[in-house]
Amino acid sequence: MANFEPKDIRNIIFLGHSGCGKTSLVEAILHGAGAISKMGTIEDGTTVSDYNEDEKAKKSSIGSSLMSFTYNSRKINIIDTPGYTDLVGEIVGGLRATDTALLIVNATGGVEIGTERGSKMSKEKGVSRAFFVSRMDKEHADFDKCMEAINKKFGKNCVAVTLPIGKEASFKGVVNLLTRQGMDALTGDDKTRVENALAALSEAVAETDDSLLEKYLEKGELTGEELCSAFRKAMAQDKVSPVFCGSATKGIGIKDLLDIVVNYFPSPLDKPTVEAAKGDGQEKVKIDMKTDAPFSALVFKTLSDPYLGQISIFKVFSGRLQSNAGFYNISRSVKEKIGQIVSLMGKAQASVDSVQAGDIACVAKLKDTVTGNSICDEKHPVKFDDINFPEPAISFSLKPKTRADEDKISTALHKLMAEDPTFKVTRDEQTKEMIASGMGDMHINMMISRMKMRYGVHVDIGTPKVAYKETITGKGDAQYRHKKQTGGAGQFAEVWLRIEPLERGAGFEFVDEVVGGAIPRPFIVSCEKGIKTALESGALAGFPVVDVRAIVYDGKTHPVDSKDIAFQVAARQGFKEAMNKARPVILEPIMDVDIVIPDEFMGDITGSLNSRRGRVMGMEPGEGLQTIKAKVPLEEMYKYVNELKSITGGRGTYTMSFSHYEVVPSNLAQIIIDRAKQSKKEESEE
């Protein structure tokens, strides 16, 4: 495939609700452009973009895929994305590499949540939007109803550019308002409808340019040339969003869409200049989308290929990169050597000699480069803004089923995390559990199944343990004597100590108030060691102890039998006795939770938060949305994503971060203590 200038490249991301027909439309476009000789189907698992085994089994997209092809002397890069809410990370990366979002609307279902979310995200990223009403040949397909819903949700600047001829089973073609092809043959109501649509398109386009609006108001119409020229500019600025229609399975409306894509969709040159930080510093510089500038690019997606290993997909913002050369990864401060650059068509790869500004390409087997990294010319280092992937919303504990699974699990998890930055795995030092976090139940389950299918790793999943802690709310005193007489040398130590609470978050403090050498200095150190050991397992349920001051103030020694281990034991036991007297309590982690929901769900969500012991701290209104800021115990948040989806019909999202530790209410504390004791009992029986 030859290199194309930025003006001749079209980078498009396909967005929409799950099952709206994105993958079928991609297939029809590839066939219409001559990139494939025969259309595959989702039912048969033969589509270009859904090529993974789990996608074929599920009959829907799970990861985003890239299709690069040429049509009418233009290079088109399409990123097909999954529609499930849980897989939003695939969209976040793709939007950083594309200039237009084509939002697919199912003609029988209208505007769904996935379409709303895709439009909102595209707008936030400054990506131009266009709509395609699919499945026009199906029963109950209604273009006018869809058009009404699109205008209601996304504004009056969404205007029809192709209109259907016939409906449902009799749908047989489209009228193209830009080329006015097919208009002459129309009569009666059809003609009136098309003329009204052309007037609406002309008015919407004219309103984006003052001098053109004046002309339009004066003459009542625009010439074909004026309309086309202004339409292209208006679309690049996202002031007009064209709406197309067609049927992927029948191939109707596909040719018109393709022609409009190459002639009117924005090229990388038509979009605002991207900025990057110069070197590692804060100074921002504009990156010129020129092929003769220094090389710079952003890795927005990573794939794991069973044969080629890790494949990094990147968008070039300036300059050119040659195969078998190299680049500087400024995000990691490392140089990378590269082999062959490839262009993707689903899983099929075509070698290219080089890739240049505006284009998207891939390289395999990079050692240090991951999704979100900026890569560039070492002599002209620039760093693009990081890709802000959403934080995981749900967590599960993972336990390998067998020793063999244990050996393979870290490699499998590493590859899965490289592919999907919204999937994270951490090890909780306190509970010793492996915690997998993702965007929802479905996301985690898909990752578990991918681990099994691709890497042969089997795991059990469960709800993670909360990292509880213990502390004291009063003072406690203890005098503990440790005396052990055996055949040889004995052990003797007596320690007098008291403990008192510290403010939340202070940790642990050790104070030596021993006078007159009652306990020699080396044994004071032993006392501190013993108490620190006791902190690892509290008196109530065996959780770590925090926010305590321990004061050793007296003791006794034996000239022969006193030794380090004896004072460690005495201090440890003394601390435990003192803790039982100091009104111990259990602490739980409290999270800062920000929940974004449409206005109408306010009451339901505040009610659900109250039922989960949450405290609403404030609200921030937005455009049709509310952000509720709350503090909620972590224990209550593990499965909250499911409740939020259920209440808001999938429209609500949330993020959470650790805030502080707080005392658990006494009625719940007893349940936690009983559970911890039962767990210890089971462990000892194994």
Sign of CA dihedral 440, 649, 49, 299: negative
Q: Is the pLDDT of residue 54 over 60?
A: no
- What stretches of 381-486 adopt beta strand conformation (E)? 382-383, 394-400, 424-427, 434-438, 459-462, 469-472, 476-484
pLDDT the model gives residue 103: 95
The answer to whether residues 245 and 133 touch, using CB atoms and an 8 Å cutoff, is yes
The answer to whether residues 335 and 378 touch, using CB atoms and an 8 Å cutoff, is yes
Give 631's pLDDT tier (boundaries 50, 70, 90): very high
Mean per-residue pLDDT, 125-149: 92
Mean per-residue pLDDT, 610-620: 90
Mean per-residue pLDDT, 70-82: 92
Buried b vs exposed e over 221-233: b needs ≥16 C-beta within 10 Å? ebeeebbbbbbbb
Mean per-residue pLDDT, 478-482: 93
Residue that wins the pLDDT comparison between 73 and 222: 73
pLDDT the model gives residue 685: 64
Residue that wins the pLDDT comparison between 531 and 20: 531
Q: Is the pLDDT of residue 116 over 70?
A: yes
State the maximum Cα–Cα separation within the chain, in Å, rounded to a whole number.
115
Mean per-residue pLDDT, 606-610: 91
Q: Choose from 275-284, 354-363, 460-469 the range with maximum mean pLDDT.
A: 354-363
pLDDT the model gives residue 501: 94
Please report where in the chains the tokens 């219409």 appear, as a residue: 32
Q: Which amino acid is at 257?
A: L
Q: Choose from 110-124, 136-150, 388-402, 665-679 the range with maximum mean pLDDT.
A: 136-150
Q: What is the 3-state secondary structure (H, E, C) of 349-397?
A: EEEECEEECCCEEEEECCCCCCCCCEEECCCCCEECCCCCCCCCCEEEE
pLDDT the model gives residue 524: 92
Mean per-residue pLDDT, 594-600: 85
Q: Is the pLDDT of residue 532 over 90?
A: yes
pLDDT the model gives residue 487: 65
Q: Is the pLDDT of residue 55 over 70?
A: no
Give 59's pLDDT tier (boundaries 50, 70, 90): low
Mean pLDDT score of the chain, rounded to an integer?
87
Q: Please write the tens of the pLDDT for every residue from 430-467.
A: 667 788 888 777 788 888 888 888 888 888 888 777 77
pLDDT the model gives residue 213: 84
Q: Please write the tens of the pLDDT for every residue from 534-545.
A: 998 888 888 889
Give 161's pLDDT tier (boundaries 50, 70, 90): very high
pLDDT the model gives residue 683: 63
Q: Is the pLDDT of residue 120 over 80?
A: yes
User: What's the CA gap between 666 and 614, in Å, rounded?
Assistant: 17
**Domains of the chain (ranges plus CATH)?**
6-184+239-270 (3.40.50.300), 274-383 (2.40.30.10), 394-462 (3.30.70.870), 469-582 (3.30.230.10), 586-668 (3.30.70.240)
State the Cα angle at 159 between 158 and 163, rounded to 5°: 135
Mean per-residue pLDDT, 483-510: 87
DSSP single-letter state for residue 465: P
Q: Which of 88-102, 206-220, 607-621 has the lowest mean pLDDT?
A: 206-220
The answer to whether residues 490 and 530 touch, using CB atoms and an 8 Å cutoff, is no
pLDDT the model gives residue 529: 94
Mean per-residue pLDDT, 348-362: 92
DSSP for 504-554? TT--EEEEE---TTSS-HHHHHHHHHHHHHHHTS-TTTSPPB-SEEEEEEE
Q: Is the pLDDT of residue 113 over 80?
A: no
User: What's the CA gap between 21 and 249, in Å, rounded?
Assistant: 10
Give 243's pLDDT tier (boundaries 50, 70, 90): very high
